[in-house]
Structure 1
Amino acid sequence: MKLLSYFSLFLGLLSITLKAQNTPAPIKLVDILLTANHPDWNYKLNEEATVKISILRYGSPVDNVEIEYQYGPEQLNPEKKGILKLKNGVGEINIGTMNTPGFRQLKVQAKIDGYVYKNEIKAGYAPFEIQPTVSLPKDFDSFWKKAIDENNKIPMDAVVTHKPEFSTATVDVYLVRLQNYKLGNYFYGYLSKPKDNKPHPVLLNPPGAGVKKIVPVTAYAEKGFISLSIEIHGVNPEINESNFQEMRKNLSDYWAINLNNKDNYYYKSVYLGCVRAIDFLTSLPEFDKKNVVVTGGSQGGALTIVAAGIDKRVNYISSFYPALSDNSGYLYNRAGGWPSMFSDKYQNNSPEKIKTMEYYDVVNFAKKISVPGFYSAGYNDNTCSPTSTLAAFNSVTAPKEIVITPISAHWRFGETDDQSMKWLREKCGIQ
């Protein structure tokens, strides 16, 4: 028995040693650098864009390398494919132009010593002139007013449980359960409050896409906000793993559930849940009674815009690359938003589904925003296409500012997060 214990200990130490010896490389052995001839990656209509390609190994050009390339409108079938041999590891490709606002995408790959390396770049053509394709229903406002009025009849039935194991020296953390949409239907969130018992702005942090167990977030409370980070599917973060995996399986394509019925579409309860979360936050005795903030990215960025569009208690928002924007773009031969529901991949373009989406498309909520907003997006985002996110941003008529980091894909730089937080704190008068 003792020998077995020593052997198990040996295997454990060996595993740790091997992992330490095989830490994944933080950089690529070979880099494909793509450099647009406009440093901001923006072009005028009918202006041609050229991209310089550099293949580097250890920071030096790779000789006699061939690349495969393709380019065309983003997210659609490429207009041209080809092979180009680079002289001294450097070459150039003209990716053409556009006569309507939008984005063109160049994809490049090279095979070196049996390994394939890839990169891509998107050029924006009059991106701040992109207009949405989705229609705004005449009864959009009355539809959502009725939905909120009906939801107000459902008791909040809030259950708030202190979680000292997640709390810090300066922040108290609580698990919150709120009733929403129907009796017996609940969603969960982690509330984080500064321990100073002073009045604070409240901040709603809706989640990105997927079915996940939420985790406590204390960063906003450390910056002076009372924050609530929520999930949208009714997943108690303390659920056992087998039940959680069953829920994930059943909700794998939740965005498509009841898409043919605007009154019962899956996102109806989600959008109303954001309003319910604000009901809860504004009921807290520590709420400063004036500042309500919403911020999130991707699906969270979408829900940020939705909340500001239908809940006039919201004062300021910060939305990063919002999903669910201009979903009908694919019906007009251009990129739409996540989850690409009307693209060839899903074949969802029935009249009923298209009509339902008009009531849920983020663009139509963006048109209703009346409060200042901070926005951010990257051009290399293949999840929430810049065509769709700019269609939403361009639909906002309220005071707004945007940070574009063109090289960003479906992520953002820490510097952008810092800008967002500084903006929100200044707006709310946090010193």
Structure 2
Amino acid sequence: MKKLVLPSLLLIWASSVLAQPVERLVKVIVSPDHADWLYKPGEPVRLTISVYRSNVLLKGVKLRYEIGPEKMTPTKTETVTLKEGTLALDAGTLKTAGFLRCIATVEVDGKEYRGLTTAGFDPPSIKPTVANPDDFKTFWDNAKADLAKVPVDARMTLLPERCTERTNVYQLNLQNVNNSRFYGILCVPKKEGKYPAILRVPGAGVRPYYGMIAEADRGFITLEVGIHGVPVTMEPAVYESLGRGPLSGYQAANLDDRDRYYYKRVYLGCVRAVDFLAGMPQYDGQNMAVTGGSQGGALSIVTAGLDNRIKWVGAYYPALCDVTGYLHGRAGGWPHLFAGNDLAYNNKPDRIKTTGYYDVVNFARQVNVPGYYSWGFNDETCPPTSMYAAYNVIPGTKTLDINYLDTGHWTYPEQTEKMTNWLLGQLRAK
């Protein structure tokens, strides 16, 4: 039988947001004077900026740096020449909980190289800015009740070329709300028995999916879903066209109406995926986890907050957290609805109100199951301020792995391995 080698949870995921950055000829290293990158409010941050080429300090290079709260207008900028290739710098401080970022850039032979470091000030004290609607729970209880009236109508198409000796692989097609469908790649162990289940929810974008075949081979039912209501096995060019056309900017589609906002169908689609997994005869009936990164990290928390059939959460750098931060003078989460050119368009009462029903913060308040979370301080896509705003309100048992402080919107292999080991360990793999 032909076996197709595909990415697994243990390896780098099939998403650019999880890929390590490419090694560069010139390295700009910004080092803080605290090994844990953590400071007390009011405590000064001292940095050393070094520029290397071929692992040797690059002397005489011109460097510019900017310092300020992450994602906000810099409070200090300067251009200097590094006579010896290094610079000691007093970066200032923050008086309240948050993150202070230094970005340093050099130009060598016509190419720009940059490095950054982000100092944290009492992150556990960061509080959300997003409103928590009084009828939040009622809104979503009603939405789930509407979904429950829609038949699951599962349609499974075997993908023989992806099957292995141990696992059958299918494209799965489920009925969702508003006459839409919800697609994914389902992997089911061939051996008769009862198995734990893993739901993987996707990062942002429009792409095909390949399924968690390696985990299924190890004795798990796995379902990797797309969110856009289109099949997930088409040619890549089709998704590229969709992403540049009708699905461009989907993150803000119908933001002025809480009942029509794009993510309502998406969040309910994740619940529908749980419906299907929970109803499978091969499911063991009690061990189900959800995992993902970025938008997938957001959807992991959302799904766990909406559905108590989820027993464990594994989330990397969740998006959609405290998106209103920008309206309160600090960084907000991806997709940065109230920053830059989008601020004037979205800064309206109806749009702001809608965010309260979809912000990860308000789902995090309902996550009562154990979770393992992982991100770095240098994330420029999902600012740590926004992620801590959600993490800090989670009432369930939680572990935050911040041993990879220098990571941005990507992960080290060691980081994904730790997440995998935790997740599969909780599911009691046999």
Deviation at 1:220, TM superposition (A): 2.5
CA distance in 1, matches of 2:134, 2:103: 41
Give TM-score, length-normalised by structure 1.
0.91
Does the CA contact (< 8 Å) of 2:196 and 2:284 recur in 1? Answer: yes
1:383 partner amino acid: T
Aligned match of 1:357: 355
What SS does the corresponding residue of 2:310 show, helix, strand or coil?
A: coil
Does the CA contact (< 8 Å) of 1:200 and 1:288 recur in 2? Answer: yes
What SS does the corresponding residue of 1:303 show, helix, strand or coil?
A: helix
After superposition, the Cα gap between the structure-2 partners of 1:194 and 1:90, relative to the gap in structure 1 and judged at 3 Å, is: same
1:167-187: CA deviation from partner (whole Å, max 9, x where unpaired): 12222211100010123x112
Match of 1:344 among 327, 340, 346: 340
1:344-375: CA deviation from partner (whole Å, max 9, x where unpaired): 33021100001011000000000011111000
Match of 1:36 among 32, 36, 53: 32
1:181-203: CA deviation from partner (whole Å, max 9, x where unpaired): 123x1121000122222211111
Does the CA contact (< 8 Å) of 1:166 and 1:216 recur in 2? Answer: no
Match of 1:218 among 210, 213, 216: 213
CA distance in 2, matches of 1:237, 1:311: 24
1:252 partner amino acid: S
Deviation at 1:243, TM superposition (A): 5.4
1:329-358: CA deviation from partner (whole Å, max 9, x where unpaired): 000010000000011330211000010110
Does the CA contact (< 8 Å) of 1:271 and 1:307 recur in 2? Answer: yes
CA distance in 1, matches of 2:423, 2:61: 48
Q: CA RMSD, aligned part only?
A: 1.5
2:226 partner amino acid: E
Deviation at 1:42, TM superposition (A): 1.0
Aligned match of 2:177: 181
Does the CA contact (< 8 Å) of 2:189 and 2:216 recur in 1? Answer: yes
CA distance in 2, matches of 1:298, 1:319: 8
Deviation at 1:28, TM superposition (A): 2.1
1:303 aligned onto 2:302: no
1:366 partner amino acid: A
1:189-228: CA deviation from partner (whole Å, max 9, x where unpaired): 0001222222111111011001112223313213432110
Aligned match of 1:16: none
1:51 aligned onto 2:47: yes
1:200-279 pair list within 5 angstroms: 200-239=195-234, 244-248=239-243, 249-279=245-275
What SS does the corresponding residue of 1:395 show, helix, strand or coil?
A: coil
What SS does the corresponding residue of 1:417 show, helix, strand or coil?
A: helix
Deviation at 1:245, TM superposition (A): 4.6
Give TM-score, length-normalised by structure 2.
0.91
Aligned match of 1:22: none
Does the CA contact (< 8 Å) of 2:171 and 2:233 recur in 1? Answer: no
After superposition, the Cα gap between the structure-2 partners of 1:27 and 1:307, relative to the gap in structure 1 and judged at 3 Å, is: closer
Moved more, 26-35 or 374-383: 26-35
1:266-308: CA deviation from partner (whole Å, max 9, x where unpaired): 1000000010000001111110011111000000000000011
CA distance in 2, matches of 1:244, 1:54: 41
Does the CA contact (< 8 Å) of 1:154 and 1:182 recur in 2? Answer: no
CA distance in 1, matches of 2:123, 2:269: 32
Deviation at 1:34, TM superposition (A): 1.4
Aligned match of 1:21: none
CA distance in 2, matches of 1:96, 1:146: 49
CA distance in 1, matches of 2:50, 2:101: 17
Match of 2:193 among 195, 198, 213: 198
CA distance in 2, matches of 1:327, 1:245: 27
CA distance in 1, matches of 2:341, 2:215: 38
Does the CA contact (< 8 Å) of 1:368 and 1:396 recur in 2? Answer: yes
1:129 aligned onto 2:125: yes
CA distance in 2, matches of 1:156, 1:362: 26
What SS does the corresponding residue of 2:342 show, helix, strand or coil?
A: coil
Does the CA contact (< 8 Å) of 2:305 and 2:366 recur in 1? Answer: yes
CA distance in 1, matches of 2:214, 2:188: 10
CA distance in 2, matches of 1:112, 1:275: 51
1:216 partner amino acid: G
After superposition, the Cα gap between the structure-2 partners of 1:223 and 1:403, relative to the gap in structure 1 and judged at 3 Å, is: farther
Aligned match of 1:169: 165
1:413 aligned onto 2:425: no
Aligned match of 2:108: 112
What SS does the corresponding residue of 1:346 show, helix, strand or coil?
A: helix
1:283 partner amino acid: G
Percent identical residues? 42
Q: Larger radius of gyration, structure 1 or 2?
A: 1
1:71 aligned onto 2:70: no
CA distance in 1, matches of 2:22, 2:74: 31
Deviation at 1:86, TM superposition (A): 2.1
Does the CA contact (< 8 Å) of 1:202 and 1:287 recur in 2? Answer: yes
Does the CA contact (< 8 Å) of 1:72 and 1:104 recur in 2? Answer: yes
Does the CA contact (< 8 Å) of 2:317 and 2:374 recur in 1? Answer: yes
1:34 partner amino acid: V
Does the CA contact (< 8 Å) of 1:49 and 1:123 recur in 2? Answer: yes
CA distance in 2, matches of 1:131, 1:205: 28
Aligned match of 1:93: 89
Match of 2:399 among 398, 401, 406: 401
Q: Which has the higher contact order (CA 8 A, sep 6+)?
A: 2
After superposition, the Cα gap between the structure-2 partners of 1:65 and 1:256, relative to the gap in structure 1 and judged at 3 Å, is: same
Aligned match of 1:294: 290
Aligned match of 2:322: 326
Aligned match of 1:8: none
What SS does the corresponding residue of 1:250 show, helix, strand or coil?
A: coil
CA distance in 1, matches of 2:140, 2:328: 27
- Alignment size in residue pairs: 406
Match of 2:365 among 349, 364, 367: 367
Does the CA contact (< 8 Å) of 2:71 and 2:331 recur in 1? Answer: yes
Does the CA contact (< 8 Å) of 2:211 and 2:223 recur in 1? Answer: no
1:385 aligned onto 2:383: yes
Aligned match of 1:140: 136
Does the CA contact (< 8 Å) of 2:207 and 2:236 recur in 1? Answer: no
CA distance in 2, matches of 1:409, 1:242: 28
